[in-house]
């Protein structure tokens, strides 16, 4: 099914050769394909599209008990989203090396995260008492929802 999703996206000209299917208890919960080109959204990877659909369908951002089937090993962004969503299992066809070979090389991002190379984006820390208080206000709220 992930292959079919990827093929649909390619045929529609919506993005790269990436498809995703989320399954829980042998039931397909959501599908998605890469929609970066169609939406001009660099986060619209197949995994992200499927996670968003599954979360809406199940009414929760925790997707425990779900398996994600994808056409390629997830990039660092999708890897993070998979962990944030608490997806328990990922099954993929093509490796990161396979993706890199056709132009989807995320090695630099992985290397930056791992501290092996210097980040090319300049991040500036500007402490703010107001911003800190905003965090503490949320933290003190007994009805806050952790995710």
Is 130 considered catalytic here? Answer: no
Domain boundaries of the chain, sorted by first residue? 2-104
Positions in the chain whose pLDDT score sits under 70: none
Question: What are the beta bridge partners of residue 32?
Answer: 20
pLDDT of residue 132: 98
Instruction: Give the neighbor-by-neighbor strand order of the sheet with 19-24.
Output: 27-33, 19-24, 66-72, 89-94
Catalytic residue among 47, 88, 124, 133: 47
**What's the rounded Cα separation, in Å, for the pair 77 and 100?**
16
pLDDT of residue 147: 87
Element (H, E) at 3: helix 2-12
Q: What is the pTM of this model?
A: 0.93
Q: 40-64 burial string, b = 16+ CB within 10 Å, else e?
A: eeeebbbbbbbbbbbbeebeeeebe
- Per residue in 27-55, pLDDT (tens digit) is 999 999 999 999 999 999 999 999 999 99
pLDDT of residue 143: 97
First-last CA distance in the chain: 29
Fold of 2-104: Cytidine Deaminase; domain 2 (3.40.140)
pLDDT of residue 111: 95
């Amino acid at each position: 099914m992930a292959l079919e999703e990827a093929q649909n996206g390619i045929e529609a000209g919506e993005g790269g050769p990436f498809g995703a299917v989320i399954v829980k208890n042998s039931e397909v919960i959501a599908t998605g394909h890469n929609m970066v080109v169609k939406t001009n959204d660099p986060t619209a990877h197949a995994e992200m599209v499927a996670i968003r659909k599954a979360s809406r369908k199940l009414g929760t951002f925790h997707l425990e008990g779900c398996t994600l089937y994808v056409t390629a090993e997830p990039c660092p962004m999708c890897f993070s989203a998979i962990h944030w969503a608490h997806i328990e299992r990922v099954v993929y066809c093509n490796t990161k090396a396979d993706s890199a070979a056709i132009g989807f090389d995320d090695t630099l991002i992985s290397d930056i995260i791992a501290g092996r190379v210097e980040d090319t984006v300049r991040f500036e820390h500007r402490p703010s008492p107001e911003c800190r208080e905003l965090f503490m206000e949320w933290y003190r709220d007994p009805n806050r929802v952790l995710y």
